[in-house]
Amino acid sequence: MALSKEVYKEFEDVVGEENICDDPAIMPSYYSTEFAAVILPKDTAEVQAIVKLCNKHKLQFRPICTGWTGVFPKGIILLDLRRMNHIIEINEKNMYAVVEPYVISAELQAELMKRGLNFCIKGAGTNCSALLRGHGHMDQTTSGDDRNHLAIEWVTPEGDIVKSGSLGSSDEWYCGDGPGPSIRSILTSAVPPGVTPGVFTKAAMKLYHWPGPARFPIVGKSPKYTLSEIPPNMMARYFSFPSVEKMWQAELKIGESEIAYELMGFNAAMVACNITTCNEEEEEVFGRISKEVQGPGFFIIIAGNSPEDFEFKKKVLQKIISDADGRSLKSVENPETEGILLCQCIRISASIRETFRAGGAFNSIPVMGQRDLTIKWAIGAGKAKEPLIKKGFIVDDGGAFFGWGVEQGHLGKTEIFCKFDPLNAEAKAAVEGWQKEQSKRALKERYFANTLASDDEVEHEIGPSLSNYHLWWRKLRAAIDPNGVTPGGGALV
Ligand SMILES: Cc1cc2nc3c(=O)[nH]c(=O)nc-3n(C[C@H](O)[C@H](O)[C@H](O)COP(=O)(O)OP(=O)(O)OC[C@H]3O[C@@H](n4cnc5c(N)ncnc54)[C@H](O)[C@@H]3O)c2cc1C
């Protein structure tokens, strides 16, 4: 749907002619040629003015940060936020950073490491926006998802500016709640649609202590970075265990003793993805290390604050691993490989390989919750993959799942992939069937509810089992978006 000249001019008056476009020759550089226009606001005032115009003309809009996963319907106005790319503040004393939407995680992390700080980087990669919520490899120390947002500046679907938490009452960013009822769950909701209608224009993110070097000693070229030397008091290892139960007991003890900087339950296939640079090499390494591991395992980074702290943590680790009959994967002890893994898993740069692996496309069932329960469910989901592997529909990863600790084990994440050839219709249908069946089993056996489901499933099965959250969400949307200018963000349109 094209804008009329008059309406186009009204938007142009807000951002200037250089920052609006409906040219069919330029639009394909975004997702589709069928946006009404792409507009690039430079600050909150411009975002607000655009949103108000959208309400005036009943035009739907949606913002985009780095565009890694966003799904953008046809005919909408796309707000490309790339000009809003400033780190507003790094508050070392109170340990938060205030960012605009287009600050990517790599930029923020480089600035933070100079100050002995770090933050939760989404497993999607450091190329993604630092401002949107997510979880990743370092959650064991940096927590994840909705736990890391402090105060937020939000332009509502009607064009009001809302400042949450301490920002609204004292103009400071240190807290996302109150005074009075908190709106945090509206802003950084953990249930889909997960995308808050409106636009976040600034957010304060929690920061955490970084015991490593101010600058990572990186050598090599993409896709093969490693370290010229392993930073002092830092170590990366992969341990495999004779059973899931033993692995899980070791994870629990590591959490209780708070010795791990990172605890990432990679399976052997994901280790192979991280340390190789092409599919052929990866298949070869996967075949080799699959024979070296004795069962399920995890990747761990130990980082000491001093040589003494490092020695202590290593000793504790050694005891936990030997009590659980764990075994170190020798390939990872090689300093070059150890360096690659430290690069990939602290600077979060191998996700695209970890996720897609040879196979082309994937369907996944991700779960955040109590790790032992989600592991129990995932074992069944892994077994259910076996017939698909036998039929050649999905890549053979040994039926593996993966996951990681969050906040030293207070929470956990488990996820299971099915990787398949997207051009093979039979394989696609089989994978979709597996996903549906395993999500249903999870709900029926009371492990968790997969809220990334179809409208029908949310309406009749998932919503009713979760306090009818879908009905509340619809009421909320109707209240904050009376003109219907924000398209639905997921299963609930
Ligand atoms: C290979 C792969 C691996 C991934 N792994 C992980 C993972 O391990 N952990 C994880 O958490 N996620 C993961 N993801 C999902 C990931 O979190 C998101 O892709 C990423 O955070 C999106 O950031 P983005 O800036 O690219 O968002 P975009 O794609 O730009 O936007 C995502 C959504 O947010 C909305 N949005 C964008 N900016 C704003 C704003 N300022 N205000 C309000 N709404 C906005 C958009 O409209 C869109 O609906 C993965 C994705 C891929 C493709």
* Mean per-residue pLDDT, 37-47: 97
Question: DSSP assignment, residue 83?
Answer: T
pLDDT score of 25 more than 90: no
In this structure, which amino acid lies at residue 18? E
Expressed in angstroms and rounded, the spacing between residue 131 Cα and the centre of ligand 1 is 10
Expressed in angstroms and rounded, the spacing between residue 41 Cα and the centre of ligand 1 is 20
Pick the residue whose CA is nearest to atom 32 on ligand 1.
Answer: 70
* Mean per-residue pLDDT, 80-95: 97
* Mean per-residue pLDDT, 394-412: 85
Question: DSSP assignment, residue 299?
Answer: E
pTM of the model: 0.93
CB within 8 A of 240, min separation 6: which ones?
247, 268, 292, 293, 294, 295, 296, 297, 326, 327, 329
**How many percent of the chain have pLDDT more than 70?**
95
Mutate which of 64, 86, 155, 164 to test ligand 1's pocket (most atoms within 8 Å of Cβ)?
64
**Of 490, 492, 485, nearest in space to 79 by CA:** 485
Cα dihedral 34, 35, 40, 45 in deg (nearest 10): 180
Question: DSSP assignment, residue 491?
Answer: S
Arithmetic mean of pLDDT over the chain: 90
Helix (H, G, I), strand (E, B) or coil at 414: strand
pLDDT at 89: 98
Distances, alpha carbon 81 to alpha carbons 103, 143, 162, 393, 459, in Å: 10, 26, 18, 40, 33
Residue 128 exposure: Cα atoms within 13 Å on the Cβ side: 22
pLDDT at 257: 97
Expressed in angstroms and rounded, the spacing between residue 145 Cα and the centre of ligand 1 is 12
pLDDT score of 189 more than 70: no
Mutate which of 65, 155, 264, 345 to test ligand 1's pocket (most atoms within 8 Å of Cβ)?
65
Write a three-state SS string for 89-141. EEECCCCEEEECCCCEHHHHHHHHHCCCEECCCCCCCCCCECCCCCCCCCHHH
Kindly list the protein residues whose Cβ atom lies closer than 6 A to any atom of ligand 1. Answer: 62-70, 81, 101, 122-124, 128-129, 132, 134-136, 195-196, 199-200, 351-352, 355, 489
pLDDT at 493: 33
pLDDT at 490: 41
Higher pLDDT, 405 or 451: 405
Per-residue pLDDT reduced to its tens digit, 106-117: 999 999 999 999
Cα–Cα distance for residue pair 190/146, rounded to 1 Å = 7
Higher pLDDT, 220 or 194: 220
pLDDT at 492: 35
Per DSSP bridges, beta strands 77-80 and 61-64 are parallel
Question: DSSP assignment, residue 482?
Answer: T
Expressed in angstroms and rounded, the spacing between residue 299 Cα and the centre of ligand 1 is 25
- The string of DSSP codes covering 349-409 is --HHHHHH-TTSEEEEEEEEE-HHHHHHHHHHHHHTTHHHHHTTSB--STT--EEEEETTT
Pick the residue whose CA is nearest to atom 8 on ligand 1.
Answer: 123
Per-residue pLDDT reduced to its tens digit, 193-210: 557 889 999 999 999 999
Per-residue pLDDT reduced to its tens digit, 334-389: 999 999 999 999 999 887 777 766 666 788 888 877 788 888 888 899 999 999 99
pLDDT at 154: 95
Question: DSSP assignment, residue 23?
Answer: -
pLDDT at 191: 52
Cα–Cα distance for residue pair 139/371, rounded to 1 Å = 13
Cα–Cα distance for residue pair 51/54, rounded to 1 Å = 5
Q: All domains of the chain, ordered by start, with CATH?
A: 5-80 (3.30.43.10), 87-209 (3.30.465.10), 218-352 (3.30.70.3450), 359-444 (3.30.70), 454-486 (no CATH)
Q: Which of 59-68, 178-187, 204-213, 460-469 has the highest mean pLDDT?
A: 204-213
Expressed in angstroms and rounded, the spacing between residue 68 Cα and the centre of ligand 1 is 6
Per-residue pLDDT reduced to its tens digit, 98-156: 999 999 999 999 999 999 999 999 998 999 999 988 899 999 999 998 889 999 999 99
pLDDT score of 451 more than 60: yes
**Of 442, 482, 446, 449, nearest in space to 463 by CA:** 449
* Mean per-residue pLDDT, 305-331: 98
Cα–Cα distance for residue pair 228/210, rounded to 1 Å = 20
Expressed in angstroms and rounded, the spacing between residue 63 Cα and the centre of ligand 1 is 11
Instruction: Using pLDDT thresholds of 50, 70 and 90, give the confidence band for residue 190.
Output: low
Least confident piece of the model among 58-72, 308-322, 329-343, 352-366: 352-366
Total length of the chain: 493
